Amino acid sequence: MATLALRLCGGLELTVDGNPVVPSLGAKTLALLAFLRLEPGAHRREALTALLWGEYADEKAKTSFRQALTRLRDAVGDLVIGDRVTIQLRGDLACDVSDFEVLAASDS
């Protein structure tokens, strides 16, 4: 099974078995993945669309969200699940920020 990892420090990058995902997912798609990873649980599609594409008109924002979600699912498969209302990350996705948080908490 492939090992997925999200790097947020020093540049955004999603890797599979240590190799960058090609083609690159783009900054907002990676930002969506980062948000889902760092804020566990189900999130309303409307809220995510407003967060990442709030500067666009409603229909353009929804279209951009759907396109990003499609690219994300192509890259990570069943790791992203959802329905018509919510989206969430399930399973394990390594993330350097999460690793840092764990190490920082254990250093207290």
Look at residue 43 and give its three-state secondary structure.
Answer: strand
Confidence band, pLDDT 50/70/90 cuts, at residue 1: low
Highest averaged pLDDT of the listed ranges 9-18, 40-49, 93-102: 40-49
pTM of this prediction exceeds 0.85: yes
Pairing mode, strands 94-95 and 4-7: parallel
Average pLDDT value over all residues in the chain? 93
Tens of pLDDT, residues 18-46: 999 988 899 999 999 999 999 999 999 99
Q: How confident is the model at residue 80 (pLDDT cuts 50, 70, 90)?
A: very high
